[in-house]
Amino acid sequence: MNIVTTKTSGLTTDFKVTIPSSVIAGKISSWLQEKSKYVRIDGFRPGKVPLNVVHQRYGHQAQQDVLEEAIKETTQKILKEHSIQPVLRPEYEVEQYEEGKDFSFSMSVDSMPEIQLQDFKAIKVEKLNVEIAEKEIESALQRLAERYTKFKPAAAGYKLKEDDQTTVCLVCEDSKKKIIASYTGDKVNIVVGKNEMGLGFIEEKILGHKAGDIVMVDHTFPKDYEDKSVAGKSVSFKVEITEIGQPEKNKVDDEFAKGLGCEGLQDLKDKLNENMQKEHENLANVFHKRSVLDALESAYKFDLPARMVKAEFESIWDHLQKEIAAAKAKDEYEDDGDQTEAELRAEYEKISERRVRLGLLIAEVSKVNSIRVSPEIARNVIFKEAMKYPGQEKEVVKFYREHPQEIERLTSPVLEDLVVDHIFSQATQKEVKVSIKQLHEKLVGVLPGYDGDEAVAEKPEKEAKAVAKKSTKTK
**What are the structural domain ranges in the chain?**
2-110, 149-249, 255-474
What pLDDT was estimated at residue 286?
92
**Which residue, 360, 339, 345, 325, is CA-closest to 113?**
360
* 15, 106, 359 from 6: Cα distances, Å: 5, 9, 29
pLDDT higher than threshold 90 for residue 178: yes
Proportion of the chain above pLDDT 70, given as a percent: 93
**What's residue 448's pLDDT?**
66
Does the structure show a pLDDT above 90 at 34?
no
pLDDT band at 327 (very low <50, low <70, confident <90, very high): confident
This prediction has a pTM of 0.71
Confidence at residue 40, expressed as pLDDT on a 0 to 100 scale: 76
Q: Do the beta carbons of residue 166 and residue 160 sit within 8 Å?
A: yes
pLDDT tens sequence across 331-347 = 767 776 678 889 889 99
Reported as a pLDDT band with limits 50, 70 and 90, residue 471 is very low
pLDDT bin (cut points 50, 70, 90) of residue 444 is confident
Rounded distance between C-alpha atoms, residue 397 and residue 355, angstroms: 29
Confidence of residue 384 (pLDDT cuts 50, 70, 90): very high
CATH of domain 255-474: 1.10.3120.10
The CATH fold of domain 149-249: Chitinase A; domain 3 (3.10.50)
453-191-268 Cα angle (round to 5): 60
> What is residue 452's predicted lDDT score, i.e. its pLDDT?
61
Report in angstroms the alpha-carbon separations of 330 from 180, 194, 223, 324.
21, 28, 11, 10
For residue 34, the 8-state DSSP code is H
**pLDDT surpassing 50 at residue 79:** yes
- Which among 437, 435, 434, 433 is positioned nearest to 456, based on CA atoms? 437
Element of type H or E holding 104: strand 103-110
Average pLDDT over residues 176-194: 92
Q: Would you give the distance in Å from CA 361 to the centre of its chain?
A: 21
Which stretches does DSSP call E strand in 180-324?
A: 185-191, 214-220, 234-248
Helix (H, G, I), strand (E, B), or coil: what is residue 393? helix
**pLDDT surpasses 80 at 42:** no
Chain Cα centroid distance, residue 123: 28
Question: What's the mean pLDDT when you consider all of the chain?
Answer: 89
**SS3 assignment, position 451:** coil
Per-residue three-class SS string for 105-174 = EEEEEEECCCCCCCCHHHCEEEEEEECCCHHHHHHHHHHHHHHCCEEEECCCCCCCCCCCEEEEEEEEEE
Asked whether residue 82 carries a pLDDT value surpassing 70, the answer given is: yes
User: Is 78 in contact with 1 (CB distance < 8 Å)?
Assistant: no
Phi first, then psi: give them for residue 281, nearest 5 degrees: -65, -35
Average pLDDT over residues 273-296: 93
Q: Residue 244: is its pLDDT beyond 90?
A: yes
Per-residue pLDDT averaged across 302-311, rounded? 92
Of 97, 122, 94, 114, the closest CA to residue 106 belongs to 94
Query: How far apart, in whole angstroms, are the C-alpha atoms of residue 345 and residue 100?
Result: 48
User: 2-110 and 255-474: same fold?
Assistant: no
Classify domain 2-110 by CATH number. Answer: 3.30.70.1050
Q: What is the pLDDT of residue 460?
A: 36
Q: Nearest to residue 428, comparing CAs of 299, 308, 252, 247?
A: 299
| pLDDT tier for residue 227 given thresholds of 50, 70 and 90 | confident
Which of 43-52, 249-258, 402-411 is predicted with the least confidence, judged by mean pLDDT?
Answer: 43-52
pLDDT-based confidence at residue 422 (cuts at 50, 70, 90): very high
Mean pLDDT of 282-299: 93
Q: What is the mean pLDDT of residues 125-150?
A: 91
Closest CA to 88 of 396, 282, 243, 306: 306
Nearest to 268 by CA among 150, 143, 151, 436: 143
